[in-house]
């Protein structure tokens, strides 16, 4: 069994991720891509939002339930983590530039 995390390219209302589990990941992803998978993936497809498999784990329903119960899919998602890291670095760089310009005056 495989637990997988889908990352949506854009938010659909409040949702940015879908977390699921399956026995055959290739077949399940084909279902999502065709709009025949989970309801959230159906409406995401109808909205024209693309998605990526951002992470997988070995495990079944128990692991999926534990991960869902944490309510922190963005922290589980390597795509979101790298975006947040880049934003923090940009803010830090801006802060350093502001400090330099303030001290130069």
Structure tokens at 80: 């979101």
Nearest in space to 24 (alpha carbons), one of 35, 39, 37:
37
Measure Cα distances from 100 to 5, 65, 91, 97, 103 in Å: 42, 49, 14, 5, 5
**Higher-confidence residue: 72 or 30?**
30
What is the residue extent of each domain of the chain?
Answer: 2-104
What's the pLDDT score for residue 99? Answer: 55
What's the pLDDT score for residue 82? Answer: 81
Structure tokens at 67: 């991960």
CB distance 47 to 28 below 8 Å:
no
What's the pLDDT score for residue 79? Answer: 92
Nearest in space to 6 (alpha carbons), one of 49, 47, 36:
49
Band the pLDDT of 103: cuts 50, 70, 90: low
In DSSP terms, 52 is beta-bridged to: 7
d(C-alpha 105, C-alpha 103), whole Å: 6
pTM of the complete model: 0.79
Radius of gyration for the chain, computed over Cα atoms and rounded to the nearest angstrom: 18
Per residue in 21-67, pLDDT (tens digit) is 999 999 999 999 998 989 999 999 999 999 999 999 999 999 999 99
């Amino acid at each position: 069994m495989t637990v997988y995390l889908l990352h949506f390219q854009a938010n659909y209302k409040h949702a940015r991720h879908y977390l699921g589990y399956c026995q055959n990941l290739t077949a399940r992803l084909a279902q999502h891509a065709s709009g025949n998978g989970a309801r959230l993936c159906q409406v995401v497809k109808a909205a024209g939002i693309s998605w990526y498999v951002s992470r997988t784990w070995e495990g079944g329903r128990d692991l999926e339930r534990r991960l869902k119960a944490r309510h922190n899919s963005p922290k589980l998602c390597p795509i979101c983590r790298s975006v947040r890291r880049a934003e923090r670095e940009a803010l830090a760089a801006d802060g350093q530039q502001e400090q330099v310009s303030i001290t130069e005056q």
